[in-house]
């Protein structure tokens, strides 16, 4: 995974990847053995909506199971993280699991969502200033000290 394949929520002035990146990634990916394409190209607005629908299918138990586990253990997780935590959410997607955790935290200081799709990040965190006023608009791209806590809530059990 390259550094530019993940996006942390940042100011709107940030430039999108150049079109030439897509061409060079496709050429490199289809020339490799085995052939592959970076997943960042599948998570545009349409791809994110499709994945959300997949997560809601009865056959796709992974997200539902993760939500159940997180819901049952959120108080314990929040206790371990402690008050004033500075939380980084990797692979936040729609933000469903992230909200469960943030609601359980004691005075969270900062939340930094990270995902492949910047549009999805903006959509999933649009209501955060209203729902979590203590966090304000803390989500932005920046260098992170080693003492930060990271919540990886993306569905990875099946991949």
User: How far is 116 from 8, CA to CA, in rounded Å?
Assistant: 8
pLDDT of residue 36: 87
pLDDT tier, 96 (very low <50, low <70, confident <90, very high otherwise): confident
Is 37 within the bounds of a domain? no
Is 124 within the bounds of a domain? yes
Domain CATH code at residue 125: 3.40.50.150
Count of structural domains, the chain: 1
Phi/psi of residue 8, nearest 5 degrees = -100, 140
pLDDT of residue 90: 78
Is 28 within the bounds of a domain? no
Is 35 within the bounds of a domain? no
Is 45 within the bounds of a domain? no
* 3-class DSSP state of 151: strand
pLDDT of residue 79: 96
Is 140 within the bounds of a domain? yes
In sequence order, what DSSP letters do the residues of 2-44 get, joined into one string? Answer: -GGGSEE---TTSPPPPHHHHHHHHHHHHHSSS----GGGT-S
Is 80 within the bounds of a domain? yes
Range of the domain at 139: 61-152
Structure token digits, residue 137: 């608009």
Is 46 within the bounds of a domain? no
Does residue 58 carry a pLDDT above 70? yes
Does residue 143 carry a pLDDT above 90? no
Q: Mean pLDDT in the chain?
A: 76
| pLDDT greater at residue 4 or residue 53 | 53
């Amino acid at each position: 995974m390259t550094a530019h394949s993940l996006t942390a929520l940042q100011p709107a002035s940030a430039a999108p990847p150049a079109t030439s990146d897509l061409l060079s990634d496709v050429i490199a990916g289809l020339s490799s053995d085995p052939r592959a394409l970076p997943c960042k190209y599948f998570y545009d607005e349409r791809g994110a909506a499709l994945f959300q629908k997949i997560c809601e299918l009865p056959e796709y138990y992974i997200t539902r199971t993760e939500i159940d586990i997180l819901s049952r253990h959120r108080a314990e997780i929040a206790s371990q993280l402690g008050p004033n935590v500075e939380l980084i959410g990797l692979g936040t997607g729609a933000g469903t699991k992230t909200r469960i955790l943030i609601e359980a935290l004691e005075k969270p200081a900062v939340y930094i969502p990270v995902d492949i799709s910047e549009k999805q990040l903006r959509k999933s965190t649009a209501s955060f200033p209203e729902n979590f006023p203590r966090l304000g608009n803390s989500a932005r791209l920046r260098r992170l000290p080693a003492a930060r806590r990271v919540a990886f809530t993306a569905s990875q059990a099946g991949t």
